[in-house]
Structure 1
């Protein structure tokens, strides 16, 4: 049994969005990394707001589909510091690789088959 329920996953998603908005300033990331972080935060927020779980604003995206979308974002996050020249600084690299790791960790610990309202 996986310890992260749909409800908890939703809370984690919103905290992650806030972190992706705050972290670039707190870490002093360059402009391109800052913009990418804000873009991922916005995308995650929209997906989270529309997912079929308790913290959603409108429950339109099935929870398992949310998981597949989230899982696809991990390789994108991990690839950014290697394909975008301005992300090759150590802070930017560590930040995006860390985000990818957090996404993979949350994905692997989430019970994607659970009833969102349980």
Structure 2
């Protein structure tokens, strides 16, 4: 079994879905009780995910200017930011849990993403 089974196309679908979730979840979950940054970091990251996705060299891109490997590095930076943010900005309760959960999910998606598009992965 191949450990990296998320193709760039599937990764793109995950990206756009995640962007919607990152923008809407802070309002649905009531983030920002421990620090306003908890709400706005998620929204800003969601917008950034859309911008990066529109520029990545995969199926759902418009500009194809960021290589997929570069996109994965940006994802790692986002995951690391999510992991550090609760401690850096003193998030507590749901604010903290939200960012830790997002960090874990993004690290997993990056770890399971294959940088080669193949017809068997579609």
The normalised TM-score by structure 1 is 0.91
Deviations 1:47-96 (A, max 9, x none): 111000001121110111111111122111111010103x2x21000000
Which residue of structure 2 aligns with residue 16 of structure 1? 18
In structure 1, C-alpha distance between the alignment counterparts of 2:118 and 2:53, rounded to whole Å: 13
Which residue of structure 1 aligns with residue 27 of structure 2? 25
Q: What's the offset of the Cα at 1:115?
A: 3.2
In structure 2, C-alpha distance between the alignment counterparts of 1:75 and 1:67, rounded to whole Å: 12
Cα–Cα, structure 1 residues 33 and 116, in superposed 2: closer, same or farther, change >3 Å? farther
In structure 1, C-alpha distance between the alignment counterparts of 2:118 and 2:93, rounded to whole Å: 39
Which residue of structure 1 aligns with residue 47 of structure 2? 42
Cα–Cα, structure 1 residues 116 and 37, in superposed 2: closer, same or farther, change >3 Å? farther
Structure 1 stretches of 4+ with a deviation exceeding 2 A read: 115-118
For structure 1, which runs of at least 5 residues remain unmatched after alignment? none
In structure 2, C-alpha distance between the alignment counterparts of 1:29 and 1:72, rounded to whole Å: 22
Which residue of structure 2 aligns with residue 76 of structure 1? 81
Q: What's the offset of the Cα at 1:116?
A: 7.5
CA contact (8 A) 1:10 1:53 kept: yes
Q: What's the offset of the Cα at 1:32?
A: 2.1
CA contact (8 A) 1:54 1:116 kept: no
The normalised TM-score by structure 2 is 0.88
SS at match of 2:26: helix
For structure 2, which runs of at least 5 residues remain unmatched after alignment? none
Aligned residues: 115
